[in-house]
Amino acid sequence: MKLLMFLTKVLFKIFYRVKVRGIENFNQADDKTLIVANHVSFLDGMLLGLFLPRPISFGIHSKYYNTWWFTPIKQTMPVFVVNHDDPMAMKAIIQHIKEGNKVVIFPEGRISNTGSLMKIYPGSALIADKANAEVLPVRINGAQFTPFSQMQGRLKLRWFPQISLDILPPRKLNLPDNISNHERRKKGTEAIENIMRDMLFETSNCTMRLWDKLLEAAQTHGKNHKIIEDLERTPLTYSDIFTRAMILQQLLPQSIKHGERVGLLLPNVNGCYITFFAIHARGAVPALLNFTMGESATTAALETATIQTVITSRKFIEAGELEHLITAIEKKANVIYLEDLREKLSLVHKLKGLWMAKFPSLGVCRLIKHVDASDAAVVLFTSGSEGIPKGVVLSHKNILANIAQVSACIPFNATDICLNALPFFHSFGLTAGSMLTTLNGIKTFFYPSPLHYKIIPEIAYDIDATIIFGTNVFLSAYAKHAHPYDFHTMKYAVAGAEKLQDETRDTWMHKFGIRIIEGYGATEAAPVISVNTPMHYKSRSVGRFMPGMKYRLEHVPGISDGGRLFIKAPNVMKGYLMHNNPGVLQPPEDGWYDTGDIVAIDDEGFLSIQGRAKRFAKIAGEMVSLTAVEELCRHCWPDHDHIALAFPDAGKGERIILMSTLEKPSRKDLIQCAHEHGVSELHVPRQFLYVSEVPLLGTGKIHYVAAQALAEKILKTSSE
């Protein structure tokens, strides 16, 4: 049997090219160690038995104990039957570890059929806790692509993919002593879940360029895998993207230099995605311009990022009636129209593009050989909701790290179909709605505007969408106009960029039977900071931190619950480009990004947003959240929109004025509502301003700068 195992190991090395990384971590682990591994195929036990140093033992679920694939392991090492729901069945394995042995266990208890982590049973935590053992995480990667997995129909399977085993440093559970057995079991299971989740992220390769990741996705899912589509209803494969991007990059002006920031002014269409990668192929950096910001903000963005060239489309400019915006842009930069580039297209361009697409790893690598994963990949501009837009520079590593973080938490797979109506210039639309999906083999339908509330539900129904990303404003509007069956295939409706209102959450649940997954992010974090997941969900929270993220809360005077959030993580931006110092990168101090948000974190690690630090009013020495004021008003008058604004007050420091689409709000009704919800009367505004509609940005978020200016104008007019 030992000879058979030796020969099997040789065959595995030949056919699966098995790589083992982190063997030093195995050697550093105590003798008393519980080895936890993800479970992706029937080969997993054999892989660990063959390639982990001896001696080790196995804890295997009873339903797998007598299978053919585990028979060789039983003949060569100790094996214990594990029942995750029966503590008594764990005694033998606990005693074996206490005697100074390393034991392998699969905490999921079954082979994954999602490609990501399944639920974690408490048995592994019980073993580690009772045996006082170190936990050694091992990630198995690649075996999910074999026919021995349970991913048939979800992944492109092949007989001999490369398989790797990544061994991470050992760690302790470190559970509190003064808790009940039930609570100890719960916290122990959560600790194992966190270790497994962190393992998936830490072993993901984020030190790549976006082009490299696109090539890897094509290799994984097949060059002919249909991956993007738009209103023209012509799906494009990875091969199509390579071909078109390689042709387009030849047509771009030769004046575009390596590392130059090139403005991109296009809607959500296939052409925008292709142009994005064509700019990358030239070694330049796309700067995604927000065409809803207006002329002054857009020209300020051009100056901030020192953009000399802007790529757009005449068809788009005409359809969006943006001639005035282009006129302003032309005063600052050279405008290139895709239609004009198409007229220059020759047979030579086509043949060269086809050749480069046929061998993209050669063609692309030659073009961008001087680009590193830590270099800038994109420039996005803050919405300007609270001031002049700043340029946010994200590296390739920032974006891929955020994709890996989300993928470690939510089990997307290549059978999903994403409907993305969020614009590319919005970090949520770029990273989550475009890069996360297409770089993981998820077919993505680009819709040019999130404002077509009646059409988008129809599109979702037509394409059998399973994923949709949106803000509260957009998701609420879709629900209002949708037929109850329009979202019948939807698995994930993910909300971000603004607070999800209870009415929106309840409508989606009652009308469609869909639980909206709410998250929290910032452009500077590429953007996801925290998110609820199917396995870890808490209503009215924005989920738990992404793996690999450090945070700290700084006390804010007058705030008793929570503090100002600072984060440090691989997905945090390279830095800002500021208008007062154009083109000069200003990295975050020591890598820490100040979110400017006041957050509270509960015992389970779930975040709740109290409001922006700038959006607090100090009234008679008390800090009052303007977000909480808006929330109170929505409870009282749910059919109207409200914005709470702070203005100076000679007597109390500041006063709150409510801008509302309700023509004659009653302060008495609002006070009664405050009492019913246990809210202080300090949250009740003293003055009300009526507007027919509240100012919004193109992303659906409230435009606070415009709202403040409008309120000042109304107050000035009324006083005169």
Domains within the chain, CATH numbers bracketed: 2-202 (3.40.1130.10), 210-607 (3.40.50.12780), 620-719 (3.30.300.30)
416-420, 494-498, 541-545: least confidently modelled range = 494-498
Q: Coil, strand, or helix at residue 125?
A: helix
Kindly indicate the confidence band of residue 493, based on its pLDDT and cuts at 50, 70 and 90: very high
Residue 456, CA distances (Å) to 226, 420, 479, 714 in order: 21, 10, 10, 36
Tell whether the model's pLDDT for residue 385 goes beyond 50: no
Count of Cβ atoms closer than 10 Å to residue 5 Cβ? 17
Q: Rounded CA gap, 607 and 629, in Å?
A: 20
Q: Rounded CA gap, 623 and 329, in Å?
A: 42
DSSP 597-614: EEEEE-TT-BEEEEEEGG
Asked if omega into 360 is within 30° of 0 (cis), the reply is no
Over range 226-240, report the average pLDDT.
94
pLDDT value, residue 297? 82
212-221, 554-563, 669-678: least confidently modelled range = 554-563
pLDDT-above-70 percentage for the chain:
93
pLDDT value, residue 62? 65
Q: How many residues does the chain have?
A: 720
Question: pLDDT per residue over 431-471, tens digit each?
Answer: 999 999 999 999 999 999 888 999 999 999 999 999 999 98
Q: Which of 39, 84, 426, 703 is catalytic?
A: 39
The single residue listed with the structure tokens 């039957």 is 81
Q: Rounded CA gap, 548 and 561, in Å?
A: 25
Tell whether the model's pLDDT for residue 91 goes beyond 60: yes
The average confidence (pLDDT) of the chain is 87
Q: Cβ(115)–Cβ(93) under 8 Å?
A: no
Whole-structure pTM value: 0.85
Q: Cβ(389)–Cβ(382) under 8 Å?
A: yes
98-107, 514-523, 682-691: least confidently modelled range = 682-691
Tell whether the model's pLDDT for residue 412 goes beyond 90: no
Tell whether the model's pLDDT for residue 384 goes beyond 60: no
Helices (H), 105-209: 123-130, 181-202
* Backbone φ, ψ for residue 453 (5° rounding): -65, -30
Tell whether the model's pLDDT for residue 587 goes beyond 90: yes
Q: Which two tokens stand for residue 637?
A: 């008058």
Question: pLDDT per residue over 25-77, tens digit each?
Answer: 999 988 899 999 999 998 888 899 889 987 888 887 766 666 666 666 666 77
pLDDT value, residue 667? 85
Is 39 a known active-site residue? yes
Q: Specify the higher pLDDT residue, 679 or 218.
A: 218
Residue 481, CA distances (Å) to 463, 478, 486 in order: 18, 5, 10
Q: Specify the higher pLDDT residue, 261 or 387.
A: 261
Q: Rounded CA gap, 632 and 624, in Å?
A: 12
Kindly indicate the confidence band of residue 85, based on its pLDDT and cuts at 50, 70 and 90: low
Question: pLDDT per residue over 614-640, tens digit each?
Answer: 677 767 556 677 888 888 888 888 888
pLDDT value, residue 553? 92
Q: Cβ(136)–Cβ(34) under 8 Å?
A: yes
Question: pLDDT per residue over 145-179, tens digit each?
Answer: 999 998 888 888 899 999 999 999 999 988 888 88
Q: Specify the DSSP class assigned to residue 378.
A: E
* Backbone φ, ψ for residue 698 (5° rounding): -65, -20
Sign of the C-alpha dihedral computed for residues 533, 537, 540 and 546 taken in this order: negative
Tell whether the model's pLDDT for residue 338 goes beyond 90: yes
